[in-house]
Every structure is written in structure tokens, then in C-alpha cells.
Amino acid sequence: MSQPKIKRRVGKYEVGRTIGEGTFAKVKFARNSETGEPVALKILDKEKVMGSKTKIFIVLEFVTGGELFDKIVNHGRMREDEARRYFQQLINTVDYCHSRGVYHRDLKPENLLLDTYGNLKVSDFGLSALSQQVRDDGLLHTTCGTPNYVAPEVLNDRGYDGATADLWSCGVILFVLLAGYLPFDDSNLMILYKKISAAEFTCPPWISFDAMKLIARILDPNPMTMASGTYEPGMPLFASLRLAILQRITIPEILEDVWFKKDYKRPVFEEKGDTNLDDVEAVFKDSEEYHVTEKKEEQPVAMNAFELISLSKGLNLGNLFDGEQGFKRETRFTSRCPANEIINKIEEAAKPLGFDVQKKNYKMRLENMKAGRKGNLNVATEIFQVAPSLHMVEVRKAKGDTLEFHKFYKNLSTCLEDVVWKTEEDMQQNK
């Protein structure tokens, strides 16, 4: 009799067949023994990447629908409504990645997977870059990606913006979905690169005018350069459309595009790890609802020396668990102004930026009345007294998009130049 096969386990996961293998990793099918949920278990051999014989196990979602590439190969071009749905999901995903400082740099149908319900999933972030990799000129400089999908500015070796380069790749993908073939293709790489650099492509006649117009705005070879020229009879459609374009379209502009907006459903993001709003909300809850009478504070909460020292980057253990270094969700500055003056100045600066302001006991809640990419941005501020004539102001994102919080704080700090004595960065440099 044959012996029963022994199931290998990694933690609570039962490991099964190999479903993928690369240079540094192997992916196996696995199942959560507690819930029965199927997952993909990525196993990295640290001996190959870090000089150690131990392994790293990464549990990932098991996506069963295959690659979007296979769907195109097997069925050809898509109807516009189907292509639009995938493109909308792609833009939502790329927008989310960019808001967290992640640039994929290898977007193509082979890296777009489909789940059981036909929802699109972006995979293979092996060539992705983080915001910390941007050089002093504000650009990335590593040439990478798949030739047919790579943006022209990536090829010229003078630096490029990760967000606009990703968007070019999205434009190529949209063309492929609608046309069934690549806009730029040649067996000779030099000829291919010339076509990409000049954005030489022609849309097939079955693509609608609105879709052509959007593709032409994405596949602009000059992402940040003013276009010029005059229209001449017989000029290809993509070229004539580009004459009126100032620069490559941005994601916020795509979200307002006529073709894109049809049947569009704004994504709902579940924020994990953001600041708990309970302490902020409690300050502003109606006292009658909670049957309490709140005492009005005459001065800000005092901060002792130990609390102040703990905010140092070297001693603050919170920095060990901050997943968004470089995209922080809170910042601080000190001021020699009286606390009430600081409150009034923040209110005066926030309201013109479109924020509703609520304040109580030297705490403020600022809410952007206009929804951003992940709902309304909420910012909580609190003033602490460090010394009789010195206050520290903490400004933190309570809800919404981290990138939008950074833009808000930059605008806010500009309006508070006469209030701010030292920023958090100044304080760290003086340690």
C-alpha cells in the first residue's frame, strides 16, 4: 500500500502545488487550514538574494481568472464598455499606488490579473520604485519596463516622473484593449523607440472618437512640455488632437474625461492603520448625547520633557512601525505665538483652502468640503504647551489620502510663515 502523502504546512497554511516560478522565488498554491481560503504563497530563497539559507514566505491573494493578456489573445479586441471597465479599474489602482509613493514601471496586460468576478488586479511590482528613490531633481533615472509599453521619456535617459511614465503605459494598454494590437511595434528596437518617441500610431476606425481623443491625450510624448504647431489637411487624428494639448493628461483629468466617466463608480478604499478618530471625535461630540458637561480648558495641555524627548526620531518607537516613511501622516512645528493666535491663524489659513473648521480646547478638526480620491480629507491639530512662551503644534491626517494631506500641509505652512518658529525637520537637524 502506498503511504499517504504528508501535507507540508507553513504556519496555518497547507502548501500544495507549484503555480509559478522565477529567478528568486517560487509561488505555491496554499490553503488556510482555519478558514479554507485559497491563497498564493510566494517563497523567496534568501540564499539567492541575501546570503542566508532561510526563506521568506509571503501570503498573497490567489487570483483565479488568469492574465488580461490571455483574454486579449484568446478573444481579440474588446467592446468599448468592457475595455472601459478594465481601464477604470486600472486607473483607480494606479492612482492609489501613486498616492502612496509607489510607481509600478512595468504596467502591461501580462501583469494585470483577473479574479473570479472579473475584477482587475495589478501584479508584479518587481521593477517598482518608491518615492524615496527620486533624486534631487525630483525624477527617477533607472531605465526599465517592457519596450512596447515604456514611455518615451524613460528611453531618453534624462530622468522621468514615475507617475506620468506609468500613465503612458496605461494608455498603451487601453489602445491594446480597444484595437487588439500594439500601437508601437517593430522587430528592430531602434525603429520601435523612434516610433514611441514620436508617438507614431494610428487608431483603427472602429474606436469611437471620444476614446481616440483620450488615447491621444495619454500618449503625448512630451509629458511636461507645451505642444505647438498648426493643423494641416490630411494630418492623422492623433497628431491634430495633440496640437491643442498642453501636456500629457493627468489622472485627475482622466477622471473627468467624457469617455472615461461613463458608468464609472468611484472606488471605496478601506483605510487601515490610519489615526484612530475616537479621541478627535470625542472632543466635538454633542455633550447632551453623552450626558457630560465638558470643561473649557484655559490653556493647552502641558507637555513634559519625557514626552518631548520621545518625539525624537531616534527614540520614537512608532517610527519602527511606520509603513509610510517619506509619506508621513503627521508633522509638527513649534511657535512662540500665544495659543489662541495660533488657533485663529490656522483657521484663517484653512478656510480659503476649502476646509470646514471646528475647534475646542486647543484642538481643531479640519475637513475638506470637497471629496478627494479617498473621500474627504480630515486633519486633526492639537496645541501643546512646552514652556510658558513656547507651543508645539501637531498636525496629523485623520482620514483621507496621504498625498493630499502633504499638499494641504505645504499650503498651510506657507500661510503660517509668521507663526511657525521651527518645523519638525528643523528640530531634527538641530539635535
Considering its fold, how many domains does the chain have in total?
Answer: 3
CATH number for the domain including 90? 1.10.510.10
Supply 314's cell numbers: 531616534
Residue 104 in domain: yes
Same domain, yes or no, for 118 and 157? yes
Q: Kindly report, residue by residue over 322-374, the tens digit of the pLDDT.
A: 444 445 678 888 889 999 999 999 999 999 999 999 988 889 999 998 887 77
8 Å CB contact between 25 and 45 = yes
Q: For 183-228, how does the pLDDT look when each residue is reduced to its tens digit (9 = 90+)?
A: 999 999 999 999 999 999 999 999 999 999 999 999 999 887 433 3
Which residue from 73, 37, 40 is spatially nearest to 182, judged by alpha carbons? 73
Inside any domain, residue 267: no
Instruction: Render pLDDT for 273-307 as a digit per residue (tens, 0 to 9).
Output: 444 444 445 444 443 344 444 455 667 877 665 55
Residues known to be catalytic: 106
CATH number at residue 344: 3.30.310.80
Q: Among 28, 44, 61, give the residue marking a domain's end.
A: 61
| Residue 42 known to bind ligand | yes
Distances from the Cα of 394 to the Cα of 345, 385, 407, angstroms:
15, 11, 16
pLDDT at 314: 43
| Domain that residue 53 falls in | 8-61
Within 13 Å and on the Cβ side, how many CA atoms surround 87? 32
Residue 271 belongs to some domain of the structure? no
Same-domain status, 158 and 208: yes
Q: Tell me what the pLDDT averaged over the chain comes to.
A: 80
**What pLDDT was estimated at residue 419?**
87
Calculate mean pLDDT across residues 378-394. Answer: 88
Distance (Å) of CA 320 to CA 237, 314, 323, 325, 396: 53, 10, 8, 10, 18
State the average pLDDT over residues 111-121.
91
Show which of 206, 230, 261 is a domain's final residue. Answer: 261
Residue among 110, 113, 107 nearest 66 (CA)? 113
Asked if 226 and 366 sit in the same domain, the reply is no
Q: How much is the pLDDT for 2? A: 57
Same domain, 289 and 387: yes
In a domain, 149, yes or no: yes
Q: Which residue has the cell 478558514?
A: 35
Whether residues 135 and 229 share a domain: the answer is yes
Task: Supply the pLDDT for residue 275.
Answer: 43
Q: Enumerate the β-bridge partners of residue 368.
A: 355
The reply to whether 269 falls in a domain is no
Crossing angle between the packed helical segments 339-350 and 402-415, to the nearest 10 degrees:
120
Q: Do the beta carbons of residue 60 and residue 238 sit within 8 Å?
A: no
- At 429, the pLDDT band (50, 70, 90 cuts) reads low
pLDDT at 317: 40
Q: Residue range 72-95: average pLDDT?
A: 95
The reply to whether 222 and 164 lie within a common domain is yes
pLDDT range class, residue 269, cuts 50, 70, 90: low
Region 380-401: mean pLDDT is 87
pLDDT at 52: 59
Is the CB of residue 117 less than 8 Å from the CB of residue 89?
A: no
- Find the mean pLDDT for residues 93-102: 90
Domain match, 106 and 254 both: yes
Structure-block grid coordinates of residue 261: 466617466
Q: 425 pLDDT band (50/70/90 cuts)?
A: low
Are residues 221 and 76 part of one domain?
yes
Q: HEC string of 330-353?
A: EEEEEECCCHHHHHHHHHHHHHHH
In degrees and rounded to multiples of 5, residue 95 shows phi and psi of: -60, -45
In a domain, 273, yes or no: no
124, 203: one domain: yes
C-alpha cell at 30: 496554499
